[in-house]
Amino acid sequence: NAATLFLGDNNNYIRSTFGGGVSIGVFGGGDVLKVEQSGSVKIGNQTPTSPHNDYKLSVDGKVLAKSFYVTNIYWADFVFKPNYYLMSIEDLEKYIILNGHLPNIPSEKDIADNGADVGEILKLHMQKIEELTLYILQLQKEIDLLKKK
């Protein structure tokens, strides 16, 4: 019951199906570019699976860009606020031994199973860098105190 516009042949084509979006296909590759009616764009011939099937852009392959901006995240400057709880180095070591990764950082299995939100990972990395800075400042104070003795 759907109207279809098809340009090309079975090897190379542009196909528009009413209610189904627009596809571009190439010999041996199937639909390599698809713009769905919802506005989602899929590049490559693999369809993303849950939980990754609701993205506006999905790419089956590597992505190369000169620039990439992530918005909609808050930054980690809360680490420098006076009420921020910085785990002791001893507790940090215990956590790492027990869990095999840093606190608040997804594990290798989590990333393998679910992927990673690049903006969130950037924020978490900055949080850890800022925590490392606080640890260094603490250690420098201890070194300075020991030098005075």
23-34, pLDDT tens digit by residue?
888 877 777 888
CB-based contact 19:36 (threshold 8 Å): no
Per-residue pLDDT, 56: 85
Per-residue pLDDT, 96: 97
Give this prediction's pTM.
Answer: 0.71
Q: pLDDT of 125-145, one tens digit each?
A: 999 999 999 999 999 999 999
Q: pLDDT of 40-94, one tens digit each?
A: 888 887 666 656 667 888 888 888 999 988 887 789 999 999 999 999 999 999 9
CA dihedral 101, 104, 106, 108 (to 10 degrees): 0
pLDDT-derived band at 99 (thresholds 50, 70, 90) equals very high
Report the C-alpha gap between 125 and 79 in whole angstroms: 12
- The dihedrals phi and psi of 139, each to the nearest 5 degrees, come to -65, -40
Per-residue pLDDT, 92: 97
More confident residue, 29 or 36: 36
Environment class of 135 (CB within 10 Å of its CB; exposed 0-12, middle 13-18, buried 19+) = middle
